[in-house]
Amino acid sequence: MLRIPAFRSLWVGLGLSSLGDWLGLLALTAMANQLADGYAARNYAIAGVLLLRVLPAVVIGPLAGYVADHMDRKLTLVWGDVVRGLLFLSIPVVGTLWWVFVVTVLVEAVSLVWGPAKDATVPNLVPAGRLDAANQISLATTYGSAVPAAAIFSLLTVVDRVFPTGMAAFERGAVDVALYLNGGSFLVSAVVIARLHQIPRGPAAGHHDQSAFAAILQGWAYVVRTRVVRGLVLGMVGAFAAGGVVVGLARTFVADLGGGDAGYGVLFGAVFTGMGLGLWRGPRLMHRTSRRRVFGAAITGCGLALFPLALVPHLEIVTALAVVVGFLAGAAWVTGLTLLGLEVPDEVRGRTFAFVASLVRLALALVLAVAPLAAGAIGAVAFGPENAAGQPLFSYRGAAVTILLAAVLMTAVGVLSYRQMDDSEGPSLLTDLRQSLPRSPGGAPAAVGCFIALEGGEGAGKSTQARRLEDWLVSAGYHVLLTHEPGDTDVGRELRRIVLDPATGPISGRTETLLYAADKAEHVEQVVAPALARGAVVVTDRYVDSTIAYQAAGRDLDDAEVEGIARWATQGLQPHLTVLLDLEPQAGLTRFEERDRIEQESLDFHERVRAMFLRLAAARPDRYLVVDARQPVEEIERRIRARVEPLLTQAVREPDRHSPTPADPGAGSTAEARK
């Protein structure tokens, strides 16, 4: 992901902003503690800072989405960082508690605009197949920057205590230094993002034919009437509400189990360890299951895991369950963000992200306030037969009962969200999850030569890019074989006629799979393997992935079985690189008039095919290059060349040719070389 220059720059800006945000929270709470007089006043001051970070979302959140969709997004991101930086720099200068509160509200208001603008921008900077990875990196950076922020703040306080004269120029010592560093991080982030030219202005930038109120209502109406987005929002808000109950009661709950501060720290560490694992590994572990199913199933599983967490009175077991809860929550969160980026049109994406952020913050604020009150009102609950000492068999405190109620809420929300979003009429969820378990694909690339496969849906431009790649390689002196599936052997041509001719009529999915496997077996045996053995560069238009996508996903067959047949037919031979040209089926199917038997399938069929291609690529990013096929032909060619060039070390070429230059698409074409 960080090889994509535009995303890399945005990531650097995000990292600096997040670092500043966490450092600012630590510095503001510390300064509020210093400026208040008395124990109660200090607690109220810190609570005021935390509360003021949440409350602006209720009022400003909806307007933030309007700004993200109706203002230049790059300007929004740059000026958002500039304003926050200047506000933090002003705190040590003013040096009063009331200004700390004012800055907290203003910074949070700007952040509410900055966040949706950033979230709405990311899907425009990365290929659709890599949005999962982009969201993983963004979330890891956003929350992971809390660690270096805490380390910096702790280091400053230690230095201030050990060498007090070193910070004598600052009235409040380490706190003032932290605030200055915080403000500086935002300003540097603004400079980094200002140099990024690939950020789109926003679909509605410059168009003000609609009032802000009407635009906000339009965004909300889109969420309400769109089934998938409605399920997403419901799941994310419900999950955060239930999670807020656990966070708000964690300290009391651990104390009820006989643990102290150490147990509290272990429990929190377990939750965030699980969440980190879920963000990192969750999408990969379930990469062949529909994201919509993964989201609903993860939310439901999180709720189910809370039941034993609340009911089993053993801290060790509770800690292990906390890792499971965190893992499922992390997987659901990154999947939900990815789905919002893919499912929501760009023109309402900012408002949708803002709507979700506002509801999430509101839900958190409510449950953090209500959960302790509910636990206190419930008190102790005991039931069951009494033992010899006269104590009931089951005894729970209010914290455990309240968490149990949160488990009921999260499970119900997960089931409802799953029912709203389930898009599969094929295998059951359990079958889908079983098929998605990681397994070895078998086989390996050839030891000599270079094998490149071009994959993608109908009309994605595979044949065009295959010919351009061949011209470039030939002009650079490589021995090149350009081939395709099905139909590049005598047997294959007859099989191609059967599987693609509309006159063939309906064929069962299994029969179709075996016919394609027969073509692949002949193709590898007679064409591909001999060419690779000679050290040639083999460029094929379609290979094994097409069988998995079209026959497994398209025909609703077991993808493990289909992949096994295809791998067996090809003797386990894998490409050194698979280039996936990604294009929406609605666009690809309009690029030709006459359609063969496969092209005549329904739009839903081709949507399932595209989804499988993207899942396969997401599982092995080291072996895939995903390219947006809507880009200009020359840009696609440039990206393919850049990725192919390092793979040519085992290919045979004429000794008097110079190495190819990927930076100049078209310069190495066969026609120009002859001129």
The per-residue pLDDT for range 422-481, each reduced to its tens digit, is 655 555 556 555 555 545 445 667 778 899 999 998 888 999 999 999 999 999 999 999
Q: Does residue 65 have a pLDDT over 80?
A: no
Q: Do domains 213-438 and 442-674 have the same CATH topology?
A: no
- pLDDT bin (cut points 50, 70, 90) of residue 217 is low
The confidence score (pLDDT) of residue 482 equals 95
Tokens 């007859």, residue located: 494
Mean pLDDT computed over every residue of the chain: 78
- pLDDT bin (cut points 50, 70, 90) of residue 530 is very high
Distance separating alpha carbons of residues 567 and 561, to the nearest angstrom: 10
The confidence score (pLDDT) of residue 333 equals 78
**What does the pLDDT average to over 596-625?**
84
User: Of 1-5, 153-157, 219-223, 596-600, which range is least confident?
Assistant: 219-223
User: Of 105-109, 205-209, 289-293, 381-385, which range is least confident?
Assistant: 205-209
Tell me if the bond preceding 486 is cis, omega within 30° of 0: yes
* DSSP structure string for 228-282: HHHHHHHHHHHHHHHHHHHHHHHHHHHHHTT--HHHHHHHHHHHHHHHHHHHHHH
The confidence score (pLDDT) of residue 453 equals 95
Which is nearest to 311 in space by CA: 421, 396, 393, 374? Answer: 396
**What does the pLDDT average to over 175-197?**
85
- What are the CB-based long-range contacts (under 8 Å, 24+) for 470-473? 470/539, 470/670, 471/668, 471/669, 471/670, 471/671, 472/637, 472/641, 472/660, 472/668, 472/669, 473/537, 473/539, 473/648, 473/660
The confidence score (pLDDT) of residue 466 equals 94
What does the block give as tokens for 522?
A: 């002949």
Exposed / middle / buried, residue 276 (Cβ in 10 Å: 0-12, 13-18, 19+):
middle
Domain coordinates in residue numbering, the chain: 1-209, 213-438, 442-674
pLDDT tens-digit map of 2-57: 777 778 888 888 888 778 777 776 677 677 767 777 656 765 666 566 667 666 76
Q: Which CATH number fits domain 442-674: 3.40.50.300, 3.30.450.20, 3.90.550.50, 3.40.50.920?
A: 3.40.50.300
What does the block give as tokens for 26?
A: 């630590």
- What are the CB-based long-range contacts (under 8 Å, 24+) for 498-503? 499/597, 499/598, 500/596, 500/597, 500/598, 501/596, 501/597, 502/595, 502/596, 502/597, 502/600
DSSP 8-state assignment for residue 504: G
Distance separating alpha carbons of residues 291 and 343, to the nearest angstrom: 11
DSSP 8-state assignment for residue 658: P
- CA distances 546 to 127, 317, 598, 614, Å, are 19, 45, 12, 12
Q: Does residue 541 have a pLDDT over 90?
A: yes
Per the document, the length of the chain is 675
**What does the pLDDT average to over 69-81?**
81
The confidence score (pLDDT) of residue 98 equals 82
Helix (H, G, I), strand (E, B) or coil at 482: strand
CATH classification code of 1-209? 1.20.1250.20
213-438: CATH superfamily: MFS general substrate transporter like domains (1.20.1250.20)
Q: Does residue 564 have a pLDDT over 70?
A: yes
pLDDT above 70 coverage of the chain, percent: 74
Which of the two residues, 290 and 537, has the higher pLDDT score? 537
Question: Residue 662 corresponds to which amino acid?
Answer: P
The confidence score (pLDDT) of residue 432 equals 57
Helix (H, G, I), strand (E, B) or coil at 532: helix
pLDDT above 90 coverage of the chain, percent: 17
What does the block give as tokens for 438?
A: 């990681």
**What does the pLDDT average to over 610-633?**
86
Do residues 392 and 381 make contact, with C-beta atoms less than 8 angstroms apart? no
Distance separating alpha carbons of residues 11 and 9, to the nearest angstrom: 5
- pLDDT bin (cut points 50, 70, 90) of residue 675 is very low
Q: Centre a 10 Å sphere on the Cβ of residue 132 and count the other Cβ atoms it contains.
A: 27
Which of the two residues, 580 and 379, has the higher pLDDT score? 580
